[in-house]
Structure 1
Amino acid sequence: MRAKQVNLRQEVTRNDALMIMNWMENNEVVKYLNEDAHISSEIKQAIDRVNMYIMTHLFNREGSFFLINLSDDRPIGFLKLIRKINEAEMVIVIGDQNKWGYGIGKSSIVQGLNIAFFQWRLQRVVAKIDKDNIRSLRAFERVGFRLEKEIGNFMHYSISMDDFIKKSLSRI
């Protein structure tokens, strides 16, 4: 399977929330995340508490939350952009382990950068990645992120709008 075109969608349904909850219970999926250990039970409580089909508002509290979809519109992961003043922090999770290793993360990062740079007009996007998360490190580096510093177990990467545009133009 080659890398597929992905799209990001912001609408989160009840079924999507249940799928995210299941991903957050998978130790392989969450082992490099800096999320609360009880995130799955928090999602479950929110689902039980809110009797609505659309649950988008619950996932956009600390930034903009996007589901990563392939062409069949079934979510396989999510991407969060946590907006600061002139930059955003990006967090990406491919929850469907069967989709790991096919370039979907890289494609999703590019889509997230398009939003941050061309819709929001931010100047920089950062990512804090566990140094043992080789797949994520590679995906961010392939898109053009550069290592800024290493703090503890985390590698701090960033990319500017100018660098993203230059990298994109070099592929043409």
Structure 2
Amino acid sequence: MVSKVQLRQEVFKSDACMIADWLKDNEVTQYLNERQNVSRSIEQVIYRVNMPILTHLFNQDGSFFVVTTKEKEPVGFLRLVPKSSGAEMVIVIGDKDKWGKGLGTNAIFEGLKHAFFNWRVDEVVAKIHCKNKRSQRAFKRLGFTEDKELAKEIQYSISMNEFLQLAS
């Protein structure tokens, strides 16, 4: 798969501002499990911390990546959170003009490479809101299978072996 995106680990102040703006948009956040005031929390950090790079603040519970186009334009973010069975992936394409262009699928693929080859996990899961059909399609396209239905979410997973078959 030729990727249309890159995952950048550095989170600059300008990225944090953009992420805060995306997280104020109900269309972007309607299927997320983020706290209601998460954009305000990010804004408070931006004003409180006098540093150009905020990477360390975004990586406290795992690995956080800014999803960028090949032209280095930020379009979303991806987070990998360690779990006992492996890792959980959360992805957001915050730039709504870029929806439906395959960037999310590409970012998921790049995130899987990081989880399996850098973290060396055996499995990656994603908990996707039952009504988030676009996200469900993106994960299924990359070989994730439905594990179980939760209250408002469906858990999908992919193993290292399944990913290697897909990637070869």
Shorter-chain TM range is over 0.9
Which residue of the partner structure matches residue 133 of structure 2?
A: 134
Alignment partners' CA distance in 1, 2:118 and 2:130? 30
Residues 1:154 and 2:153 are matched in the alignment: yes
Q: Is the 1:145–1:159 Cα contact (8 Å) retained in structure 2?
A: yes
Which residue of the partner structure matches residue 18 of structure 1?
A: 17
Shift of 1:85: 3.7
Per-residue deviation, residues 121-165 of structure 1 (Å, max 9, x unmatched): 110000000010010000000000000000111000000000111
Shift of 1:86: 4.4
Secondary structure of 2:157's partner? strand
Per-residue deviation, residues 50-85 of structure 1 (Å, max 9, x unmatched): 011001111111110000000111210000000124
TM-score w.r.t. the length of structure 1 is 0.94
Which residue of the partner structure matches residue 49 of structure 1?
A: 48
Q: Is the 1:4–1:103 Cα contact (8 Å) retained in structure 2?
A: no
Which residue of the partner structure matches residue 27 of structure 1?
A: 26
Which residue of the partner structure matches residue 59 of structure 1?
A: 58
Secondary structure of 1:67's partner? strand
Total equivalences in the alignment: 167
Tell me, which stretches of 5 or more residues in structure 2 are unaligned?
none
Q: Is the 1:4–1:70 Cα contact (8 Å) retained in structure 2?
A: no
Which residue of the partner structure matches residue 165 of structure 1?
A: 164
Which residue of the partner structure matches residue 80 of structure 2?
A: 81
Which residue of the partner structure matches residue 108 of structure 2?
A: 109
Shift of 1:4: 5.9
CA RMSD of aligned residues (A): 1.1
Shift of 1:14: 0.6
TM-score w.r.t. the length of structure 2 is 0.96
Shift of 1:32: 0.3
Whichever residue aligns with residue 132 of structure 1, its letter is K
Secondary structure of 1:32's partner? coil
Moved over 4 A (4+): none
Percent of paired sites with the same residue: 51
